[in-house]
Copies of this chain bind each other. A is one copy, B any other.
Amino acid sequence: MGVKAPYQPKDEIFTFLRPAIAVDVVLLSIIRNNLQVALIQRQDEPYYGKFALPGRFVRYDEPIETTAKKAIEGKGNIKTDNIYLEQLHTFGQDLVRDTRIRTISTVYYGFIDPDTINSQPDNTFTWFKTDNLPPLGFDHKKIIKSSIERVRRRMFTTDVIFNLIPKEFTLTEFQHACETFFGEELDKRNFRKKINELYTLKDLKRTKMTGAHRPAKLYTYVKMK
């Protein structure tokens, strides 16, 4: 072994055709107690007219997280400042998933709270319940499923859940969001005990009235150092 010969450029990378790389984003929110995902109706082939995840090809001089943000900024008119984005997986096994060109897709998932969505007038996204998706282009149904599985596993080890719910919330609303997310009912007392250990919630000293019963206190999440 060892490196003895002087360097001679080979630059094999310039000698063969390169695949394209794209970023697709699984943007999730909890809307009316349903876990929903933002889809757009495609204006181009392939899968013209079908719904699909918002995506964008990575430009030569564009960091991939920028690509991810632009994929949703351009299409949904949503400010990405308030969106939590995390890389999920890179799908690159299927050589013909895009008929135009061999494409490798890096998928990000993101969370947006439903209040932020509604305040955007010029929204080209269509939101679908994740358990009742329309026929989708590409392999996007599979991708959405694995995003949700992954996110469920990570949910209680991080504080990402607070990106999915409004800034101000009652404990019952928060519990319902968690139940929606995990797909199972939770015990009220155990739930409150648990979040009291895990997170620091600020009591806003205000209440929310939703019917002929005792009003609920409003809280907000305070990020710990």
For residue A1, CB closer than 8 A to chain B, the reply is yes
Query: By the criterion CB–CB under 8 Å, are A90 and B64 in contact?
Result: yes
Q: Which of B14, B20, B65 contacts A13 (CB 8 A)?
A: B20
- A7-B44, A10-B44 known; A16-B59 Cβ under 8 A: yes
Bound complex: CA A2 to CA B126 (Å): 11
Q: Interface residues of A toward B: which range?
A: 35 or more
Report chain B residues within 8 Å CB of A58.
18-19, 92, 104
Residue of chain B at shortest CB distance from A43: B3
Contact with B along A135-172 (1 / 0, CB 8 A): 00000000000000000000000000000000000000
Query: By the criterion CB–CB under 8 Å, are A64 and B92 in contact?
Result: yes
In the assembled complex, how far is the CB of residue A66 from the closest CB belonging to chain B, in whole angstroms? 9
Query: By the criterion CB–CB under 8 Å, are B64 and A104 in contact?
Result: yes
For residue A41, CB closer than 8 A to chain B, the reply is yes
